[in-house]
Amino acid sequence: MDQLDLEIEEWRTFVEQSPAVDGRDLEELEDHLRAQIADLTEVGLSPDEALLVAVKRMGTVDELSREFAREHSARLWRQLVISDSGEQEQSDSRWLEALVFAVAAAAAIQVARIAAGFPTEQASWLLRNASLFVVPFLAGYFARRRRLTLRQSLGMAVPFLIAAVVINVYPFVEGGSTELLVATHLPVVLWFVVAYPYMSGVLRSHERRMDFVRFTGEWFIYYVLIALGGGVLMALTAFILDPTGVDSERVIDWVLPPAAAGAVIVAAWLVESKKQVIENMAPVLTMLFTPLFAVMLVASIVVYLVTGLGNAFDRDLLGVFDALLVVVLGLVLYGISARDPSTPPSWMDRIQLVAVVSALVLDVIVLGAMIARIGELGFTPNRTAALGLNVLLLVSLAGTAWLSARFISGHGTIHRLETWQTSYLPVFGVWAAAVVVVLPPLFSFM
């Protein structure tokens, strides 16, 4: 079976999901599709190009075929582009450009540390401003790679300027809860800003949003790998320097923060230049971790329900479970982004649904404990931020569970699930911005 037949077989599998299409209809549609491809190849189109155009035309015949065209054409177009220009892209990977931005980010964070009193002391403003010394360089890197116009670049810079003014004008109590919340939520806000140059300024495109979700997961993988390798390197360096009497801890103090800042851009460059490799890695990681998380979540729910520990959550444990729910949501998003939208539901989709439903139940338990804690002790900045996050996670997980169940049962499509996820994600960015801008004055910057 040649490549064209494989592509047509994918189309058949996708269209067969429709209960309104029987075997005879499918045969007629396939005959019509092949006739269109034959006509297009006769006028000079390659088989891949002919399939792309023919499937688009078939979209006027059947709603499900139109959806296949929408999902499949983006991937096919990417394959066509890679086949034509992949070698040139690899030979000219723009590593020097990425290196310049990485060095700039490393230098910015190091200068900021020295200005904050390093190595004798560290001013509190450095913590809440740390992401502002790194993320703008990542945004600038993508603005240059995507060749944004001057107007687009200036528009991209506005959120960074607003954030810089707000967090440095607010009279935070040093070491207070709101200052720590700003330090942890501001990177989330700025990451959503990075989406603008990454998507070339096209914010309303569902496909571009899903690409950014995929990039985020892949960037995280590469960054963790870089961090692990860097940790081993620093440990070996410490052992080597120990007999010389050199203070290896001081060396690490000087090297680690700028290296971590530069790695943000290096990881992004790796994702951009090694897309084909990471696309093979994504399904493997999803297949490995989704079942493990599903088992762990189910076991946690059973233990807490049987032992009656649902109301025993303290602040630290609530934070751990919130982090777990975020990781599960991220794993689901990454799994959806790595999935071939033309394939029917599989056992992995069912395991993913188990993980989502389990996370949803766990979120309800945590939310109940949190509301009880607030009712007993009142609102604080941390409790307010955590409550808002849990409510958002509850809505996101509920929508994901519902649409996943419909897809598995044959009453929905993966495209609807992807659209829900990419449309809801900005809500998390809005909430993070509210924590940064609104929450501190509400609690007197304490």
pLDDT tens string 205-232 = 777 888 888 888 889 888 998 999 988 8
pLDDT of residue 143: 92
Q: Is the pLDDT of residue 165 over 50?
A: yes
Q: Note whether 363 and 398 are within 8 A (CB).
A: no
> Does residue 73 share a domain with residue 106?
no
Considering the domain architecture, whether residues 152 and 214 belong to the same structural domain is answered as: yes
Q: Which CA distances in Å does 338 have to 14, 65, 198, 334?
A: 17, 21, 18, 6
Assess contact for 83 and 115: CB atoms under 8 A: no
Is residue 277's pLDDT more than 60? no
240 has pLDDT over 70: yes
418 domain-assigned: no
Tell me, yes or no, whether 82 and 148 share the same domain: no
- Asked whether residue 429 is domain-assigned, the answer is no
Looking at the fold, whether 133 and 259 belong to one and the same domain comes out as yes
Query: Do 115 and 179 fall into the same domain?
Result: yes
Residue 346 lies in a domain: yes
Question: How would you class 434 by CB atoms within 10 Å of its CB: exposed for 0-12, middle for 13-18, buried for 19 or more?
Answer: middle
Give the structural domain span for 380.
274-412
Question: How large a percentage of the chain has pLDDT more than 70?
Answer: 82
**pTM, two decimal places:** 0.75
Total domains present in the chain: 3
Q: Is residue 228 part of a domain?
A: yes
Residues 312 and 266 occupy one common structural domain: no
Mean pLDDT over residues 185-214, rounded? 88
Higher pLDDT, 25 or 356: 356
Is 432 a member of any domain? no
Q: Does any domain span residue 328?
A: yes
pLDDT tens-digit map of 399-438:
999 999 998 988 888 888 888 888 899 999 999 999 999 9
Same domain for 99 and 84, yes or no, is no
- Which residues, other chains included, contact 166 with Cβ-Cβ below 8 Å and sequence gap of 6+? 436, 437
- Which of 56, 71, 89 is the last residue before a domain boundary? 89
| Residue 177 sits in the same domain as residue 292 | no
Any domain includes 21: yes
Domain final residue pick, 273, 301, 319:
273
Both 245 and 328 in a single domain?
no
Residue range 283-320, pLDDT digits in tens: 667 777 888 888 888 887 887 777 765 555 566 677 77
- pLDDT at residue 325 above 90? no
Q: Give the end of a domain, one of 212, 244, 273.
A: 273
Q: For residue 430, is it within any domain?
A: no
Tell me the residue type at 60: T
Residues 262 and 393 reside in one and the same domain: no
Residues 83, 98 share a domain: no
84 shares a domain with 119: no
Within 13 Å, how many C-alpha atoms sit on residue 427's CB side? 15
